[in-house]
Chain A
Amino acid sequence: EVQLVESGGGLVQPGGSLRLSCAASGFNFGTYWMHWVRQVPGKGLVWVSGVHSDENSAIYADSVKGRFTVSRDNAKNTLSLQMNSLRAEDTALYYCSRSSGWIFGLWGRGTLVTVSS
């Protein structure tokens, strides 16, 4: 089955760190751009970061640049997001998404990150 499954979310204090993972299955992971998109419950979608299939090229939203690092392991079909210096405004449901030419065609169900003291 073609799917993406996120994990790693949870409650973290402001200034803390968290690492999200996305396990991909059922498709040739190494040939797609992969992204993180977040959504505050009840609010809109916000793109966070993306990484090229070659594992080397990454792009970020300004709001997370310098704090978040996206990476992937094509051998393990896994996408990751290392989140440091977390702020209350980073609280959201984080989705993993597969794109073809930046068209988001496949989404996971998300993992919830809550930043609070």
Chain B
Amino acid sequence: DIVMTQSPDSLAVSLGERATINCKSSQSVLKSSNNQNYLAWFQQKSGQPPKLLIYWAFTRESGVSDRFSGSGSGTDFTLTISSLQAEDVAVYYCQQYYSDPLTFGGGTKVEIK
């Protein structure tokens, strides 16, 4: 199984500042046949289901603010919120869809400082 490890577990960022979340997979999720990273990011606000933000490591889902960006390749990935807004308070998860079983990171809680 591919283990997804996120860091930090939580972070507090001032409004308008940058938030950076890291995700590391126990093996590469880059498929050589199509040069795609099988990595997605989700946002989950309190009391709500998860919401897809980014897939293929850096492709933003339709309607998602361009404050959110994804980067990385292979085993190391980053979700960046460029200018934190109050509505971005949530738990963020990475997930690999390279192989079964599909696995999520443990989550990173983002709060306002």
The stretch of A17-25, A72-80, A82-90, A106-114 in contact with B is: A106-114
Query: B100 contacts A105, CB within 8 Å?
Result: no
Query: B61 contacts A105, CB within 8 Å?
Result: yes
Interface residues on A, range: 20 to 34
CB-CB under 8 A from B95, the residues of chain A are 45, 104
B105 to chain A, nearest CB (A): 8
In the complex, per-residue mask of A94-117: 1 if CB is within 8 Å of any chain B CB, else 0: 010001011111011110000000
CB-CB under 8 A from A26, the residues of chain B are none
Indicate if A46 sits at the interface (CB-CB under 8 A).
Answer: yes
Distance between Cα atoms of A95 and B93 in the complex (Å): 15
Distance between Cα atoms of A66 and B95 in the complex (Å): 25
A1 to chain B, nearest CB (A): 15
Distance between Cα atoms of A60 and B102 in the complex (Å): 9
Instruction: Choose from A47, A60, A104 the contact partner of B52 (Cβ within 8 Å).
Output: A104
CB-CB under 8 A from A47, the residues of chain B are 101-104
Indicate if B70 sits at the interface (CB-CB under 8 A).
Answer: no
Grouping DSSP codes into helix (H, G, I), strand (E, B) and loop, the B interface class, with mixed when no group exceeds half, is: loop
A5 to chain B, nearest CB (A): 11
Grouping DSSP codes into helix (H, G, I), strand (E, B) and loop, the A interface class, with mixed when no group exceeds half, is: strand
B101 to chain A, nearest CB (A): 5
A61 to chain B, nearest CB (A): 5
A94 to chain B, nearest CB (A): 11
CB-CB under 8 A from A11, the residues of chain B are none
Query: B50 contacts A107, CB within 8 Å?
Result: yes
Closest 8 CB pairs of A and B: A102-B97, A107-B49, A47-B102, A45-B104, A103-B55, A59-B100, A44-B107, A44-B106
A residues at B contact (CB < 8 Å) = 35, 44-47, 50, 59-62, 95, 99, 101-105, 107-110
B residues at A contact (CB < 8 Å) = 38, 40, 42, 44, 48-52, 55, 61, 93, 95, 97, 100-107
